[in-house]
Chain A
């Protein structure tokens, strides 16, 4: 496992052509790349012989005031080191290339991010609901502007198919 400073040097060397920004998040080096090149950057992170990030630990979506940020937490089982990739998507056009072709484990993570935050992962093979039910109201519940006041309370009145004949006894 590489010390953080060595890891940063290595990442700076590898991701130099990607117009990337580097920072630290607690003990991990983060690499922020432009969103058009994130799939390419993930491919490099997986296949570069000195990185070999063969395990996508998690894929998370974060909402900031002016943008959505997709965070790829990477780990190398082979080499025992870790790093983070990040890509920003503007609020008026939240589209990010899918990385399912790099790690197939990204499939469900991207579906969850898409249904809860409304970020579209372009190129995803089947971007449908994962956790929410199919008749969900079409909004994205983890966004800051989700209207919780308008959340409907479900009952047998709103859903007549739940009505129990008689008193159910």
Chain B
């Protein structure tokens, strides 16, 4: 336990997964660690998902952004441009006509970037198996980090996927 500059008692182990790896410094309110870990902390604490939706999963995604579930408290704010985005949430069915724009948007995002495949369609084509127009999973086009199952997933499931992504980002910092 340590004293926060604002006189709040903070246990660093409870702040984020992997925080225990950070060494305590002597000064109050200061934490030290490897620079990769500090950068990972910054990255995972302000994830900006690219603002787009493809199908009904997008409704659940919007619901997750809204006040009831409120992704803002995780520092997750949607952004309408790929140039400043970190995360692509593929929320919905990827049809063959849409594959090329999705690929283009992904390539326009600066590294580091992560992809969440939300729902059955983005994961594996879902109910549209053997369809004439649907890509059987967005991972055929772009690399995917987190798969969120469901049809569509509830907002809690998407939140869990984003928290899993934050864990993954911290693990990447540990390497």
Residues of A within 8 A of B107 (CB): 164
Q: Report the minimum CB–CB distance from B99 to chain A (whole Å).
A: 7
Are B140 and A148 neighbours in the complex by a CB distance under 8 Å?
Answer: no
Task: Write out, one digit per residue, whether chain B residues 102-132 have a CB within 8 A of any chain A CB (1) or not (0).
Answer: 0100110001110000000000000000111
Q: A167-B143, A169-B111, A169-B113 are contacts. A162–B103 as well, Cβ < 8 Å?
A: yes
Are A153 and B132 neighbours in the complex by a CB distance under 8 Å?
Answer: no
Interface size class of A (residues with CB under 8 A): 10 to 19
B169 interface residue per 8 A CB criterion: no
How many angstroms from the CA of A81 to the CA of B141 in the assembled complex? 50
A156 interface residue per 8 A CB criterion: yes
Q: A167-B143, A168-B106, A169-B113 are contacts. A153–B136 as well, Cβ < 8 Å?
A: yes
Are A133 and B96 neighbours in the complex by a CB distance under 8 Å?
Answer: yes
B32 interface residue per 8 A CB criterion: no
A60 interface residue per 8 A CB criterion: no
A24 interface residue per 8 A CB criterion: no
Are A148 and B113 neighbours in the complex by a CB distance under 8 Å?
Answer: no
Residues of B within 8 A of A162 (CB): 99-100, 103, 140-141
Contact of B141 among A133, A151, A156 (CB under 8 A): A156
Residues of B within 8 A of A141 (CB): 132-133
Q: 7 closest pairs, A vs B, by CB? A: A155-B140, A141-B132, A133-B97, A148-B130, A153-B136, A168-B143, A162-B141
